[in-house]
Structure 1
Amino acid sequence: MPNEPDHAKEKRPPHRERHNAQDDHEGAAHRPEEFDPKNPQKVGAKKQ
């Protein structure tokens, strides 16, 4: 007798709720100002 695999629906975990068609991310969003000291164009503009 051949091997009888389970149905695909039985193999998969239940679906998680997705808000933006992407998985939920942990942590807070970054503000663009946080990266200004690391950006050479922004650093040069502040000195002038």
Structure 2
Amino acid sequence: MPAGTKTALKLLTLGFPGPRADRRLDWRKRDGYATAGTERRTGTEIVCGC
């Protein structure tokens, strides 16, 4: 997970508002990355076409 996303998650857990962080997490889900937490999702499996 990128450092900016980790920082945003930490700030959200401390109660700071984070509309930008919410958008980042939304796009991570849309791009198929795995997420953690109460509404976690498994990531898209990457298969090598070699």
Normalising to structure 1: TM-score of the pair? 0.19
**Structure ranking higher on relative contact order (CA contacts 8 Å, 6+ apart):** 2
The structure where helix makes up a greater share of residues is: 2
Normalising to structure 2: TM-score of the pair? 0.19
Larger Rg: 1
